[in-house]
Structure 1
Amino acid sequence: MTETAFLAERLRQHDLVRVRVVGRTGPQRVRAVVQEAYSTREFGLRPGESFEFVGRSASWAQHAPEPGDHVLLFLARLGGRWYQDPVGSDLTVVGAAGDRLRYRAGHAAVTGSRLVPRALRESCRPDPAPGGYVSFDRALTEAHLRSLVTAAGLPTAPWGRRRRFAEAVGCRWPALRS
């Protein structure tokens, strides 16, 4: 495996979306507003639209998304519902200026890994959150994730399949109007 493998497997199985969590509708039901869709294999919502997903439970020192959190989530659609990746690969926006992304992994494991690109390893800092978290520079991490999306040839339109279908049949998608 190469340096670019960090989070690549998650992207093979999930869409990556940045959201703002606005509430909880049940024990693991989370309501969020889309801020950006990085990959849209299945995800078809535009920025500003809200949706619900089934989140991870806060167990085994994993952080469950809370209202007010801004999070990069790996989501999969099963049986008509969105599910957060259960592995704990989401990245929470942290830092006074929102310039860091928190990730659940040990600092020594990340800095010693050849799967994590050098620039990310160098930007990695231990995070004070309980449960063994590190934080990465947000701009570098987002650039890495975008490069993985591009390298994998994943669709990136914020409205997903609907736009690709409209373009394939020669229709002008309404969102393209200025």
Structure 2
Amino acid sequence: METGSREKLLEILKKFRNAMLVTQAGHGALRARPMALMKVDDGTGDIWFMTSIDSGKIDEIESNPEVNVTLQEERRFLSLSGRASIVRSRAKIEELWSEEAKVYFPKGKDDPHLALIHVTPREGEYWDNQGTAGLRFLIEAVKAYVTGTTPKTDASQHAAVPLNGGPTSDGRVAAR
């Protein structure tokens, strides 16, 4: 697998509106929950979600902040591993508030149970088979089928990307 560019990963990430947030429960089991992306920070790829402070994921994140965020659409996939934190800043909630959130928080942005989950990804991996990349993959898949091999891909289709101090493929730490 090649190392891809931060720009390519962020370009793909910004196309998504929903994700699955994976946390670890106290007894070690992994839990995945659908979440609406409220914001993706330019440059860092930090992700913001809204949640209730009464949610089980709050305790799970406070006990073990290591999380995974997975995103999928028809021919595009992304996985991010990093650290989550709970943010209760009213100013940040005000900044990220949208009327769509009122479905889950009918009292609005001033709901005292409203909090944010901030995820700082340290590494990501993407698979992008949209458009011409998808056509290239289809050709490679047919070749692989005929020859009994596996399809070849390049960094435009599949790559790992270190982020925000995460490890690079050679073991060094990525720039923040």
Tell me the TM-score normalised to structure 1 length.
0.27
Structure with greater strand share of residues? 2
Tell me the TM-score normalised to structure 2 length.
0.27
